[in-house]
Structure 1
Amino acid sequence: GCSAYPRVLDFARFRAIADSVDALLMVDMAHIAGLIAGGAHPSPFPHAQIVTSTTQKSLRGPRGGFILCDEDLARKVDFAVFPFTQGGPLMQAIAGKAVCFGQALKPEFSRYAHQVVANCKVLAAELSEAGMRLVSGGTDNHMVLVDVTPLGITGQQAERALESAGIIANKNAIPFDPQPPRVTSGLRLGTPAITSRGMAEAEVKQVAAMLTKVLADVEDKEAHAKVSAEVKKLTSRFSVPGIDN
């Protein structure tokens, strides 16, 4: 689902490869579905014959998923889903998806999607300027993947240090990672959540500065406490959609 790929996917090229071996092309767009719906990332259609996605992540819906496909494959897909892998429907989840898809049709959702990408590009630039190594050198979408090896730490250490400072991120494997999956050498960061709260480029620069302070010394509890106070001050200015309003 593009869970650790910070660049734009060339769907047409993938389709050409699939056609060359007489195969179907299936795309899992779980992470980038919201960006695609908002016009901030190229669509897998008409290149893919089957597309799957979750509805949570950047699409900002309830936990769930959906499958899109060419008409000639619909019956086979439906039969594979039910009765073989799906039980009774969750009506509340279906209602939540309807709201989610309705929101994705609005102009403000497109603005959100483009701001997510703009924010992430600023985050990548700020971290790179601070001396951090970014996998692929930057980003074209909603995520940044940082190689924390040059900092002398693991992804697990980075994740825990940031959590102690009030910043939620997750450790993530990187290409040719020498560390085991539970430790990793990478840190994955994303901008959909802070963008949904109304943060823009100026706030992202503050977030990048906080990240840099914490990762400079993952054992400095005093510094982490100071950053935690900064996090609370910043987030107090931005409501959480659906909770604070």
Structure 2
Amino acid sequence: MQRDTAIFDLIQEELHRQRRGLELIASENFTSLQVMQAMGSVMTNKYAEGYPGKRYYGGCEVVDKSEQLAIDRLKAIFNIEYANVQPHSGAQANMAVQAAILQPGDAILGLDLSMGGHLTHGSPVAFSGKTYVAHHYGVKKEDGRVDYEALEQKALEVKPKLIICGASAYSRDWDYARIRAVADKIGALVMADIAHPAGLIAAGLLNSPFDHCHFITSTTHKTLRGPRGGIIMMKHDFENPWGHKTPKGEIKMMSNLLDLSVFPGIQGGPLEHVIAAKAVSFHEILQDEYKVYAQQMIKNAQAMSQAFLEKGYDLVSGGTDNHLLLIDLRNKNISGKKAENTLVKADITLNKNMVPFDDKSPFITSGIRVGVPAITTRGLKENDMQQVVNWLDRVLMHADDETVISTVRGEVNEFMSGFSMYPELG
């Protein structure tokens, strides 16, 4: 068979792009080589509808072991009783939880997308906003932090069946206990989407949602540094509150409803090669070195935060507790779109992002989101963050000067050549 040189040339081109640049997208990271090897393994050939020990196809005895290993390792990371590793993405993990516990038209309450929330938390353009009656809470204008009083007031007013906490562009920790207390007042369930801070929670560096939230979802490819995918977790299993019963008349546990919601509810066969890669990344997280990495993420983010503040940038909430920063560029007279498009010319990758109370459209935005997981994986330390911010500032302040942009690109490329990445790939 003739080799597909076109696609493999593009893969090599992408490897060069990743190697030479500064990757500052907060939701991206670089997996280990063994994670990629697992994803590219013969596990991709196996169809395995169902769950370990309960498949619809024969020949699943090996992938049963692999998937169970991923489940067991994830349970060990967070000290939990239940884990489902089959969701193809974080969005599908959120969809599965919502489908398991809600009926179309039920009320939900989540962080507004324009305030740092996620599409799957009730945005009108996503399934959550189309299927359920979505209400939202936000952040306070004066400090950019979640307005828990407004959250409680809205919850008491609309009485949602599900309160969602978590965000895609929020740089502070969460008060999960306070949200659970609000939920208990109205008999609501709580889902924490920890897709962004999951790795920092795993390392014990941020508040844990597991003792306060009924359901926890996450991706596996951000701070967890694994393959692209999703997971669903519970600290403890419990009887479903609606009295749904098995054919034998027994009350179904929430684990049953969640498993059925993933398959056959919203997905078919699981991606067993990705699940094998998840198992590898979970093994890495259980090693002592991972906590050192997680600690370095916070050190880098806070050093970067200080460097931006010293240059007069307006950081939403004034700083960060986690791995990302949300920066309002209005006082720098440049839009988020212009910033993103200009920085990529200098081989600096990040994304435009709406900021709270933004006066621009989601396609333009007034801000950018900056994250450190990927550059921390590359080996950059807190002492390097000043140089990184210097480069961003030079480009943003000379956004129409191609000479400056080209000069910065050369400096970035030379600097990053000192941080080896996948040397085994040549």
> TM-score surpassing 0.5?
yes
- Out of 283, 286, 295, the residue aligned to residue 114 of structure 1 is 295
- Out of 210, 214, 223, the residue aligned to residue 58 of structure 1 is 223
Q: CA RMSD in A?
A: 1.3
Tell me the residue number matched to 1:164: 345
Q: Does 1:178 align with 2:359?
A: yes
Q: Does 1:71 align with 2:252?
A: no
- Out of 147, 164, 179, the residue aligned to residue 14 of structure 1 is 179
Q: Check whether the contact 1:2–1:32 (CA below 8 A) recurs between aligned residues.
A: no
TM-score using structure 2 length = 0.56
Tell me the residue number matched to 2:278: 97
- Out of 129, 139, 152, the residue aligned to residue 320 of structure 2 is 139
Q: If you compute each CA radius of gyration, which structure gives the higher value, 1 or 2? A: 2
Tell me the residue number matched to 1:216: 397
Residues of 2 paired with 1:122 and 1:242: CA distance? 28
**One-letter code of the match for 2:322?**
N
Residues of 2 paired with 1:170 and 1:102: CA distance? 30
Identity in percent? 46
Tell me the residue number matched to 2:420: 239
Please state how far the C-alpha of 1:40 moved relative to its aligned partner. Answer: 2.0
Ranges of 4+ aligned residues in structure 1 off by more than 4 Å: 241-245
TM-score using structure 1 length = 0.97
Secondary structure of 2:348's counterpart equals: coil
Q: Check whether the contact 1:39–1:114 (CA below 8 A) recurs between aligned residues.
A: no
Query: Do the aligned partners of residues 242 and 111 (structure 1) sit closer, same or farther apart at CA in structure 2, a change above 3 Å counting?
Result: farther
**One-letter code of the match for 2:186?**
V
Residues of 2 paired with 1:197 and 1:232: CA distance? 13
**One-letter code of the match for 1:20?**
K
Query: Do the aligned partners of residues 96 and 80 (structure 1) sit closer, same or farther apart at CA in structure 2, a change above 3 Å counting?
Result: same
Secondary structure of 1:187's counterpart equals: strand
**One-letter code of the match for 2:349?**
I
**Mapping 1:179-194, distance limit 5 Å:** 179-194=360-375
Q: Does 1:47 align with 2:212?
A: yes
- Out of 25, 32, 52, the residue aligned to residue 190 of structure 2 is 25
Please state how far the C-alpha of 1:41 moved relative to its aligned partner. Answer: 1.6
Tell me the residue number matched to 2:310: 129
Residues of 2 paired with 1:210 and 1:100: CA distance? 32
Q: Check whether the contact 1:53–1:65 (CA below 8 A) recurs between aligned residues.
A: yes
Tell me the residue number matched to 2:336: 155
Secondary structure of 2:358's counterpart equals: coil
Tell me the residue number matched to 1:38: 203
Residues of 2 paired with 1:144 and 1:188: CA distance? 6
Q: Check whether the contact 1:197–1:241 (CA below 8 A) recurs between aligned residues.
A: no
Please state how far the C-alpha of 1:164 moved relative to its aligned partner. Answer: 0.6
Query: Do the aligned partners of residues 225 and 100 (structure 1) sit closer, same or farther apart at CA in structure 2, a change above 3 Å counting?
Result: same
Please state how far the C-alpha of 1:243 moved relative to its aligned partner. Answer: 5.9
**One-letter code of the match for 2:339?**
A
Residues of 2 paired with 1:110 and 1:231: CA distance? 28
Compare relative contact order (CA 8 Å, sep 6+) and give the higher one, 1 or 2. 2
Secondary structure of 2:349's counterpart equals: coil
Query: Do the aligned partners of residues 151 and 244 (structure 1) sit closer, same or farther apart at CA in structure 2, a change above 3 Å counting?
Result: farther
Deviations 1:87-109 (A, max 9, x none): 10111101000001111111111
**One-letter code of the match for 1:38?**
A
Please state how far the C-alpha of 1:8 moved relative to its aligned partner. Answer: 0.7
Secondary structure of 1:183's counterpart equals: coil
Please state how far the C-alpha of 1:242 moved relative to its aligned partner. Answer: 7.5
**One-letter code of the match for 1:63?**
R
Please state how far the C-alpha of 1:244 moved relative to its aligned partner. Answer: 5.8
Q: Which runs of 5+ in 2 are unaligned?
A: 1-165, 239-253
